[in-house]
Amino acid sequence: MAIEFGRIEDFIALAREGKDVNAEVELRKQILTQKGYPGDTGDMKSEIDMYLLIGVYTFRTGNEIRHVSKVYVYGVLEEAPGVFWVNVNIANARLKMDYQRLKDVKITFEEKYF
């Protein structure tokens, strides 16, 4: 029976069971447009450009390779520049917490930050 893994926690559990787990991390800034909904007030824009700061993990266990994506923070492109850097700091703090969880179970990877 094949088991699908979609969360970082799944690979932490495998490592706790003694399985050899390695990871790679790729960080991305993804831009998207949030569409307005019917009934929005007239002073609201019908579309808002947003960004997501995402960590894409590639986990290897034996011959199996699985990808897990996690959104660390999101924001609006039109916000003040200072707000973006606050969000980057929040995303990096959340990354550090996940990195520590991976290190605690001896999953090897290279740390990267936004």
Taking only the tens place, the pLDDT of each residue in 92-109 is 999 999 999 999 999 999
Q: What distance lies between CA 29 and its chain's CA centroid? A: 10
Query: Would you kindly state where each structural domain of the chain is located, as residue ranges?
Result: 24-104
**Predicted structure pTM score:** 0.84
C-beta of residue 64 within 8 angstroms of C-beta of residue 22: no
Q: Between vectors from CA 90 to CA 84 and to CA 92, what angle results, nearest 5°?
A: 105
How confident is residue 47, by pLDDT bands cut at 50, 70 and 90? confident
